[in-house]
Amino acid sequence: MKLRIFITITTLLGIIISSCSRTYYPPSDLNGGWRTLKGANEINEKAGIDIQKLDDAFEYIKGSTKNGGLLVLRDGWLVYERYFGKGHRDATPNLASCGKSFTSAAIGILIEQHPELFPERLNQKIFNPKYLPNDFFPLSDPRMENIKLGQLLSFSAGIRGNNPVYVKNQPQTMNPVGLDGWEAMVDEYVLGKEDVVDGKVRFSTKTLWCEPGEGYSYATASMHIASIMLRHISGMELQEFLDKYLAKELDWGYWNYAYRNQPLIKHTPGGGGIALRATDMLRFGYLMLNDGKWNGKQVIPKWYVKHCSQASPYNIHYPYSLQFEVNSNGHWPDLPRDAYWKSGSGNHCIYIVPSLKLVVWKLGGRDDQYAQENTGAIIDPKTLTTNDRKNWKATVDEEEAIIKTLKMVIDGVKVN
């Protein structure tokens, strides 16, 4: 009898310990959303966060962008959520290049779904008819046939993007430059079938600026090509693919892709433009924080998430991996080595810091990025703030704000 009681108690203890050690995952926002704490003392005690430091960071970012917000997640606790301008919880602005990280995540899922097509994973050469539609061929530059998927995803494929370009961390320039913005998400332009001329400047993707792997260029067209590959293999638009394999898994609310005001964009723009609610952006960051796993299911391959977070062997020229900036080589000495992030035009940025169990979302955005004609979202007048900040002027440099915001948040985190 005593033995039976002992076994029962031991079993119960095991269940309790297992339950306590299990990673927390939030229900959808409609069903309660993220767990929260009340008051500065409880937040400090349970999450190890100094709220005053986060208030300082919030005031700081108001100088970097007209609209936005700051959300901080620590060990699954939503400890901070404040907005300004047109920013609010249900806003779905055009998040610009932050969308590139979602395209990258989709490619990670695609690789795992089709091991027969990607036996070499990121080492796979993909500029051939097995991976891309016939419109790509013949290749406008024969050197493209040597491009590996890992190079395409880490911007070292030789595809023309912005200046400066980098070769072994040394800045250089190229001419002509490549496409950027919405034009880098138009199939005909990305395929090199047409150049874009703006005044006296010609933008082209017809030729590579260097041999594949020999330099880094921030080339939005690269990620749109990745989305074309996904479309070709899966038979789905990128948005449909993400909805099925990511959004539904993470219980997102309403979301969309922007650039609806650009009629030349006829497919989901792989180079950016996701329009996602702030608390759902935290879900994506939390998924990455937990090695691509959500509620016991491996949504994004663990090996792929690890590659996203570290310096990539496919890009030895600049600390940019599979669509995240990375600090594993200490490029930003004031930040943890395991921190990684993705920013987008408008000064949006998602940050993940595994060693601190930290996810931060810096919402930004210009007025036009919140416009219904851009995002396609129906805007409820009740959600609009009365503070339109008409006379706002920037007091903080945008690039400086990306790094300093994370540093200011980290300064408010207790390290055990």
- pLDDT per residue over 78-130, tens digit each? 999 999 999 999 999 999 999 999 999 999 999 999 999 999 999 999 999 99
Bridge partners (DSSP) listed for residue 274: 257
Residue 274: pLDDT band (50, 70, 90) is very high
Pick the CATH number of 96-328 from 2.170.120.40, 3.40.710.10, 3.40.50.1400, 3.30.70.1110: 3.40.710.10
Predicted pLDDT of residue 5: 44
Sorted by sequence, the CB contacts under 8 Å of residue 356 that are 6+ apart come out as: 74, 336, 410, 413, 415
**Predicted confidence band of residue 382 (pLDDT cuts 50, 70, 90):** low
The pLDDT of residue 1 is above 50: no
pLDDT in tens, 16-65: 333 444 899 999 999 999 999 989 999 999 999 999 999 999 999 999 99
- In this predicted structure, what is the pLDDT of residue 43? 94
Domain spans, the chain: 96-328
Query: Which residue did the predictor score with more confidence, 192 or 62?
Result: 62
Residue 9 reports pLDDT greater than 70: no
CB 288 within 8 A of CB 310: no
Q: How far apart are the first and last CA of the chain?
A: 44
Are 260 and 374 contacting, i.e. CB atoms less than 8 angstroms apart?
yes
Percent of the chain's residues with pLDDT above 90: 83
pLDDT range class, residue 385, cuts 50, 70, 90: low
pLDDT at 416: 65
What dihedral angle (degrees, nearest 10) is formed by the CA atoms of 299, 303, 304, 309? 110
Report the alpha-carbon distance of residue 101 to residue 378 in Å, rounded. Answer: 25
Rounded average pLDDT over 365-377: 94
- Which pLDDT does position 389 carry in this prediction? 85
3-state secondary structure 336-354: CCCCEEEEECCCEEEEEEH
Please report the DSSP string for 214-245 in residue order. Answer: S-B---HHHHHHHHHHHHHHHSS-HHHHHIII
Q: What are phi and psi of 251, to 5 degrees?
A: 60, 45
Element (H, E) at 293: strand 293-294
Residues 368-379 have a mean pLDDT of 90
What is the value of pTM for the model shown? Answer: 0.92
C-alpha torsion angle, residues 298, 302, 303, 306 (rounded to 10)? 150
The stretch 242-263 carries a mean pLDDT of 96
Confidence of residue 10 (pLDDT cuts 50, 70, 90): very low
Taking the C-alpha atoms of residue 1 and residue 276, their distance in angstroms, rounded to an integer, is: 58
Does residue 213 or residue 198 have the better pLDDT? 213
Q: What is the pLDDT of residue 374?
A: 94
> Does the pLDDT at position 13 exceed 70?
no
Q: Could you read off the pLDDT of 146-191 as tens digits, one per residue?
A: 999 999 999 999 999 999 999 998 999 999 898 889 999 999 888 8
Could you give the dihedral angle defined by the CA atoms of residues 211, 216, 219 and 223, in that order, rounded to the nearest 10 degrees? 80
Mean pLDDT, to the nearest integer, of 228-249? 98
**How much is the average pLDDT of 286-306?**
97
Strand pairing report for 325-326 and 340-344: antiparallel
